[in-house]
């Protein structure tokens, strides 16, 4: 088992960043052929998701709709003023587990792993734990 920490800068208040290649590079560095990878976000105002990575308009549409569902200003009580970010992060989730076979993550043809920023810009950490099958 190997544990890595990726550093991910973000440039906007809300943003989806494809981190698929960063995770795949770690798998290749470890020469893991069969196993799984756990990707974990240790932040309460950011999350992770798997979604389409062929058309960048998908991420734009997702952020647009998330912002409609959970507006930035809505009479929230949290004093820091970032309740919307906490809610969006919980909706996305904080971890993903993806199987590895033949040295590659098993993702669908159009799928990518996205880091979801909801309270940026910031510099974030992403934990990646790679486990090999025995």
* Average pLDDT for the chain: 97
Q: What are the tens digits of pLDDT across the range 63-86?
A: 999 999 999 998 999 989 899 999
pLDDT of res. 1: 81
CATH number reported for the structural domain that contains residue 27 in this entry: 2.60.120.460
Instruction: Give per-residue pLDDT as tens, 21-63.
Output: 999 999 999 999 999 999 999 999 999 999 999 999 999 999 9
Q: Where in the sequence is the domain holding 38, given as residue range(s)?
A: 2-132
Task: Say yes or no to pLDDT of 108 above 90.
Answer: yes
Contact call for residues 110 and 53 (beta carbons, < 8 A): yes
Helix (H) or strand (E) holding 130: strand 123-132
3-state SS assignment for residue 122? coil
Angle among Cα 86, 90, 94 to the nearest 5 degrees reads 110
pTM: predicted TM-score of the whole model, two decimal places: 0.95
Q: How many structural domains is the chain composed of?
A: 1
**The pLDDT value given to residue 17:** 98
């Amino acid at each position: 088992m190997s544990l890595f920490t990726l550093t991910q800068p973000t440039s906007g208040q809300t943003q989806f960043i494809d981190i698929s290649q960063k995770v795949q590079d770690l798998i290749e560095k470890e020469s893991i052929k069969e196993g799984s990878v756990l990707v974990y976000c240790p932040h309460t105002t950011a999350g992770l998701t798997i979604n389409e990575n062929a058309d960048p308009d998908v991420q734009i549409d997702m952020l647009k709709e998330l912002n409609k569902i959970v507006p930035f200003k809505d009479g929230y009580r949290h004093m820091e003023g970032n309740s919307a970010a906490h809610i969006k992060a919980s909706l996305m989730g904080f971890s993903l587990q993806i199987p590895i076979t033949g040295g590659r993550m098993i993702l669908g043809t159009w799928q990518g792993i996205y880091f979801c920023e909801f309270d940026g810009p910031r510099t974030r950490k992403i934990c990646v734990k790679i486990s090999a099958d025995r």
